[in-house]
Structure 1
Amino acid sequence: MKTLHFSPLRRIVLALALGTAAASAVVPAQAAEVELLNVSYDVARELYKDVNPAFIAAWKKSSGETVTIKQSHGGSSKQARAVADGLPASVVTMNQANDIDMLADRGLVAADWAKKFPNNAAPYYSTMVFLVRKGNPKQIRDWADLAKPGVQVVIPNPKTAGNGRYTYLAAWGSVIKKGGNEAQARNLVARIFKNVPVLDGGGRAATTTFTQRQIGDALVTFENEVNLVRAEFGNNFEVVYPAMSVLAESPVAVVDKVVDRQGVRKQATAYLNFLYSEAGQAIGAKHYMRVRNEKVMKQFAANYKPIQLFTVDEVFGGWRAAQKRHFDDGGEFDKIYQNK
């Protein structure tokens, strides 16, 4: 066998090369950091601030993988449009199906997104109730009271905020469900919005207007939001439940194009599945969301007052029909507000 002879300099270079190769063989490659972005509606900030660390801990325990979750919040429809325009959401957790339908129409989420998770892909739901000032000086009890002269009502803009849209539909539907006709429903909604001094862009902005700017006699928003406000501000406010209201689901979906491009579909799907777990449902219940798990719902029964609920499907023929008739440009809301 022929012996190879190397100069001292070449022996040093070879040794360094071999050492580097050996080091790379024994040191495992660092796993790529997994980061998810949850794009959600305005008044879900506190909910997901609690959900995220709970999921991160559970996922670490089950998979050994560390996940980072970022949040983005704003008016539901505004958030959906941001995702449609390129905001790289891994998941969307909205307060109405209509916003996710729009993303499905753009090819960002699956056309059958509502079948990907249980309960129409809505792990939580809520409804629209009133927050009034201590003592309820204007004696606001039901939807018709919001239309009385001299009453100021704070409602976010139905064009940009899901809870503004639900409020509009709840008031309209309350007339229909009691046997009234479309003209009577339109009249009530028109009189209510005539009493709205300012249309904020999202639910949290409307809460700020009512609680901190001291504008309005009543705030109409999600049940979970009014209870959180009351918990924070003590006895300064009271919660009023109308005779009936609309069922307000909080649907979720994986944003397919983003998770596939980033390689995080498994983690994004697990994150949304966690919302249905007993731990995830308990977190929702602590934030006054109505949950799907009967055991958890019974555990937190004191958080909820019985109320008659109707769905967007049964009164308005579904979200697509409601959007087209009431909230698209030139629809019923525009006509009502322009004649305010």
Structure 2
Amino acid sequence: MNLIRKLRPFVGVLLGVLVLAACSSGAGAPTASAPASTSAPAGWSYTDDTGKTITLDRKPERIAGFADQVLSLLSYGVQPVAVFGRVDVKKDPRFAGYDLSAVKILGNSYGEIDLEGLAEAQPDLIVTAVYPSDREGTIDPKAAYYGLKDLEQQKKVLELAPVAAVKVGGKGLDVIASNARLAVALGAEQAKVDAAKASFDAAAGKLREAAASGLEITTMYADADGVYLVKPEDEPQTELYKSLGVKLTELKPDGPYYWDIYSWENAGKAMTGDVILLSVEGYQVDDLNKQATFAKHPALRAGQVFPNAYTSMDYSAQAKSMDQLAAWLTQSKKV
């Protein structure tokens, strides 16, 4: 797995969508009220974000999928029969509050999927993601769907059920709307989606107000090799928060796609933020304090380092994340 595929979910930011002109003001915010899927008279049809149209005799009832997309479906009331993740699903705090007693857990590590268990779950449809390979949104046709190990595994998965993919790239609101569109196509009530969006809009307003402080946020992952800074325009969640006025560390906006990477010898160049949102995987605060070139980071010394867990791209999850980020900004100071 290349570096981007390995690290991208670490910074799907808790801070890590269409030009979010004013999510809180209500201007230009998309809704999921007009799903792009179409219902054929004798069946069900849906065009996913890769442009592929899936046509079935009836609406899928048995849904399996990758944890990130399953979480979004759950938020809108669509119950899956099976799930596979990149961390232990039972310990994944994002699933707290959801009843998984009737859900088969088919994998707790990236690309490790119990295909026999998947077959036994008899899914009508499998949902997962695709990530673009560049800033222009290109989808690599030679790359497997996200969450799948490789094309060989993907072929076996497709023999069991068709796959609907959500594109996780570009504008954050696009990703949220795509997840909602899929949920509605699978039977979610539009009223539930609309209610979640209302909470999202309210949280966006709070975040916009908190962001007016001008505090700079650095979203990062770190390990033994160094510091990885998310490129705000390349990650949908950071793009969302930036569009709401949040100031995010951008050292090389036109540089390499998705990451600015610094060895520990050069980590001092990444010490510009007033607040650090640190991936919950990889190095944590104690580890950062042991790095001579980073231990004097003003945000680190001020105790303004907060956990950056991956948040699913749906209205309700993002509303909670924005409320939390607004609270952190409010309690922090310029350093």
Q: TM-score, normalised by structure 2?
A: 0.31
Which structure would you say has the larger Rg?
Answer: 1
Q: What is the TM-score normalised by the length of structure 1? A: 0.31
